[in-house]
Amino acid sequence: MGLFFLISGYFMPGSLNRKGRGTFMKDRLLRLGIPLLVFMFVLNPIACIGLYQMPASWTEITTPFTWQDYPKMIGAGPLWFVEMLLIFDFGYLVWRRFTGYRTTPPLNNSVPPSYGTIGAFILVLAKASYLLRIVIPMGKFVLGFPTLRNG
């Protein structure tokens, strides 16, 4: 998933520059927001109704389905990544709003990182991942977003 987020982020500045803030966000809300809302409020609750038809020993649901259960069925489910893309898009818009548009120097004159810099990056990333997993163990949900799971 990280690769897909990286690809999306790579193309985001060019898209924003071409379309402008308003058109960019309108396009994202149409392409990502509407399918997310349809899934959250229509498709996911329909899929969850099947849980009430399964044996109680499997689901631990002992009551029959009623409309009072509908709010518990609303959720992004497997479209959590679409929700995250919208958050990243909005965050990038806010970032650009406060920092303004700055051109970056051409990459022709850049020097590749040294082996020491790459090694230091690996160590910092490993330490950050280790500390993150102490606070958020695998298999937990944070703000409705999944973390990696075992098996």
Each residue's pLDDT tens digit, 38-60: 999 999 988 888 777 777 777 77
Each residue's pLDDT tens digit, 57-107: 777 777 777 788 888 888 888 898 899 999 999 999 999 988 876 655 555
Q: Do the beta carbons of residue 66 and residue 13 sit within 8 Å? A: no
> How many helices and strands (H and E) does the chain possess?
8, 2
Each residue's pLDDT tens digit, 124-140: 999 998 888 888 777 77
What single DSSP character describes residue 141? E
